[in-house]
Copies of this chain bind each other. A is one copy, B any other.
Amino acid sequence: MRASKYLFSTLKETPNDAQVVSHQLMLRAGMVRSLASGLYNWLPTGLRVLKKVEHIVRDEMNKSGAIEVEMPVVQPAELWQESQRWEQYGPELLRFSDRGQRDFVLGPTHEEVITDLVRREVTSYKQLPLNLYQIQTKFRDEVRPRFGVMRCREFLMKDAYSFHITKESLQETYNVMYQTYTNIFTRLGLDFRAVQADTGSIGGSVSHEFQVLAKSGEDDIVFSTESDFAANIELAEAVTLGERAAPTKMMELVDTPNAKTIDQLVSQFNLSVEKTVKTLIVKGANEENPLVALIIRGDHELNEIKAQKLPEVADPLTFADETEIRAKIVAGVGSLGPVNLNIPMIIDRSVAIMSDFHAGANIDGKHYFNINWDRDVVLPKIADLRNVVEGDPSPDGKGSLLIKRGIEVGHIFQLGTKYSEAMKATVQGEDGRPQTMIMGCYGIGVTRIVAAAIEQNHDENGIIWSTDAIAPFTVAIVPMNMHKSEVVQQFSENLYRTLLSQGVDVIFDDRKERAGVMFADMELIGVPHILVIGEKNLQAGQVEYKNRKTGEKQMISKENLLSFINSQIKI
């Protein structure tokens, strides 16, 4: 590509509205431009990267034996009504009517459409297992699109759906997909972890997320220091060791008029935060118990996913408001606690081993200090309610936990029969009887990979691509004063044509710009191999080479240039 015929659109200044570094760099490098909230135009430099990522994903999916199909972006509402997600899916599901007043959605995912397709096309167990995938535009009407293409509304996704007659067959394909995803992210050169994950609204039982490690990640992921254990914090079990000590002090009612929060309580009364508890009131699962109290240690965080899965608690998890609390408990938020509480309670495992602890007295402006279970209040139901913290024991008993931030780029699910049952997707089994198919589904956020790769690899000069295979161009030719030097021009032109003829994805910066501007652009967009062609060097028989990733510069003799460049390129 000749830069003079290309649309660069690089920016010198970092745009104000971009918060994370990948968004800033994608704007500065001329990769994307916002069209509307959560909608992006992909400029040539961005699209080149996106297409290269897409190519790697497709290639590995094909190798895995999955077969590519393509389903429409626009889907009829009937299928969503059949699976009952028409009611269950929130406003992220964009719904509209066509000119004939028939209801449709913009597909956020394609479980319904593929299940409908397969129930019509596949009739016998002999045709299974089958793993169908597509790489296609998705739309999710995010309440708060942010971080550029990292969490946008329209994006490119690879979604695969597998169909089976037995759970063993599902596990087999699931394992193949786990390995395929590992291959994809390894080939993309990313530092990633596969972690156990919650299945959320997609449904199913077993599930793993593939997380690219990056400080700006929206997910907390949890590892063991000494084993392979890795999980999304949403799912990681909080293990509490130790036993409850015997009471040492009498419980007392204390006036705490200015202590509405744990922080205030601890600092005003010089308490240890590990000796306090928080009492959170949520809606109950049935009408008899409209409110339920969840009690965790003062320095811990409620894990909402865990809480939501409790049979006593309403799904989705909903916190009671001040009015609802006062109507039942009399006291308000800031003065709640287990003693004399008139609603069902569930306490975290770590709360169950506390003694001489402090909590609200269910009287406004008062707390009880030195509460002890059994002595002062009956020990309620115990559950795993909190997020793990660093240093917690690993749930597999090996080592302790570390926490890092991750960007979710892939997610694989064992769906089971959630969709096939609702949509009556059966095949004839070996015994001749209809049998409901068992399903898996496997997603990769192709668009998000581009942003994640940048979050993980960049410096003050711009983007560093994790592999040559996804850089917008592999080699840049930057001629100095080409428009004044015939020698530079001829050498550069010849080099450009030679590299092109060898199939190298090369950008030749033939713009009438200063060498500094051109060089900065090539570094900004992250061309991994940069050749600077100067008259003096040429006269000395040399060309300057810079490796974008290592930052190393070296002089290469003209004779060895092609073989050198070919040895540097790793695709």
Residue numbers of A with Cβ under 8 A of B are 5-7, 9, 33, 35-36, 39-44, 47, 50, 65, 67-76, 91-92, 94, 96-99, 102, 104, 106, 113, 116-117, 120-122, 127, 130, 132, 137, 139, 141, 143, 153-154
B96 contacts A94, C-beta separation under 8 Å: yes
CB distance from A225 to the nearest CB of B (A): 42
Chain B residue with the shortest CB-CB distance to A116: B35
Q: Which 4 A-B pairs have the closest CB atoms?
A: A96-B96, A42-B70, A36-B76, A91-B99
Q: Provide the main secondary structure of the chain A interface.
A: mixed
Q: Which residues of B contact A154 (CB under 8 A)?
A: 72-74
Q: Which residues of B contact A113 (CB under 8 A)?
A: 35, 41
A75 contacts B141, C-beta separation under 8 Å: no
Given contacts A47-B69, A69-B47, contact A33 B76 (CB under 8 A): no
CB distance from A165 to the nearest CB of B (A): 16
Q: Which residues of B contact A143 (CB under 8 A)?
A: 99
Complex-state Cα separation, A99 to B65, whole angstroms: 39
Given contacts A33-B121, A99-B143, A143-B99, contact A72 B9 (CB under 8 A): no
B99 contacts A141, C-beta separation under 8 Å: yes
A40 contacts B130, C-beta separation under 8 Å: no
Selected from B39, B91, B120, B130, the residue in CB contact (under 8 A) with A72 is B39
Selected from B43, B94, B98, B99, the residue in CB contact (under 8 A) with A99 is B94
29 chain-A/chain-B pairs, Cβ below 8 angstroms: A5-B67, A7-B69, A7-B121, A7-B127, A7-B130, A33-B120, A33-B121, A35-B71, A35-B72, A35-B75, A35-B116, A35-B117, A39-B72, A39-B76, A41-B71, A41-B117, A42-B69, A42-B71, A43-B69, A44-B69, A47-B68, A47-B70, A72-B154, A73-B73, A74-B139, A94-B99, A96-B96, A98-B141, A98-B153
Selected from B67, B75, B99, B116, the residue in CB contact (under 8 A) with A6 is B67
Complex-state Cα separation, A70 to B47, whole angstroms: 7
CB distance from A436 to the nearest CB of B (A): 20
A73 contacts B137, C-beta separation under 8 Å: yes
B96 contacts A69, C-beta separation under 8 Å: no
Given contacts A47-B69, A99-B91, A99-B94, contact A74 B153 (CB under 8 A): yes
Q: How many copies does the complex hold?
A: 2
Selected from B5, B41, B74, B94, the residue in CB contact (under 8 A) with A98 is B94
CB distance from A31 to the nearest CB of B (A): 11
Q: Which residues of B contact A98 (CB under 8 A)?
A: 94, 141, 153
Q: Which residues of B contact A91 (CB under 8 A)?
A: 99
B76 contacts A121, C-beta separation under 8 Å: no
Q: Which residues of B contact A99 (CB under 8 A)?
A: 91-92, 94, 141, 143
Complex-state Cα separation, A130 to B9, whole angstroms: 13
Q: Which residues of B contact A106 (CB under 8 A)?
A: 74
Q: Which residues of B contact A76 (CB under 8 A)?
A: 35-36, 39
Q: Which residues of B contact A7 (CB under 8 A)?
A: 67, 69, 121-122, 127, 130, 132
CB distance from A205 to the nearest CB of B (A): 26
Q: Which residues of B contact A65 (CB under 8 A)?
A: 5
Known: A35-B117, A43-B69, A44-B69. 5 other contacts (CB 8 A): A7-B127, A36-B102, A40-B72, A74-B154, A98-B141
CB distance from A196 to the nearest CB of B (A): 30
Q: Which residues of B contact A71 (CB under 8 A)?
A: 35, 41-42
Q: Which residues of B contact A50 (CB under 8 A)?
A: 70
CB distance from A136 to the nearest CB of B (A): 8
Q: Which residues of B contact A127 (CB under 8 A)?
A: 7
Q: Which residues of B contact A73 (CB under 8 A)?
A: 73, 137, 139, 154
A39 contacts B117, C-beta separation under 8 Å: no
Q: Which residues of B contact A121 (CB under 8 A)?
A: 7, 9, 33, 43
Q: Which residues of B contact A141 (CB under 8 A)?
A: 98-99
Complex-state Cα separation, A106 to B68, whole angstroms: 25
Complex-state Cα separation, A557 to B75, whole angstroms: 52
Chain B residue with the shortest CB-CB distance to A100: B37
- Scoring A50, A72, A143 by chain B CB atoms within 10 A of each residue's CB, the highest score goes to A72
Q: Which residues of B contact A72 (CB under 8 A)?
A: 35, 39-41, 154
Complex-state Cα separation, A94 to B36, whole angstroms: 18
Chain B residue with the shortest CB-CB distance to A94: B98
Chain B residue with the shortest CB-CB distance to A154: B72
CB distance from A343 to the nearest CB of B (A): 34
Chain B residue with the shortest CB-CB distance to A155: B72
B70 contacts A41, C-beta separation under 8 Å: yes
CB distance from A465 to the nearest CB of B (A): 19
Chain B residue with the shortest CB-CB distance to A33: B117
Complex-state Cα separation, A37 to B25, whole angstroms: 43
Chain B residue with the shortest CB-CB distance to A131: B5
A67 contacts B39, C-beta separation under 8 Å: no
Chain B residue with the shortest CB-CB distance to A6: B67
Chain B residue with the shortest CB-CB distance to A47: B70
Complex-state Cα separation, A106 to B154, whole angstroms: 12
- Scoring A36, A67, A75, A137 by chain B CB atoms within 10 A of each residue's CB, the highest score goes to A36
Complex-state Cα separation, A505 to B153, whole angstroms: 37
A39 contacts B74, C-beta separation under 8 Å: yes
Chain B residue with the shortest CB-CB distance to A98: B141
Q: Which residues of B contact A42 (CB under 8 A)?
A: 69-71
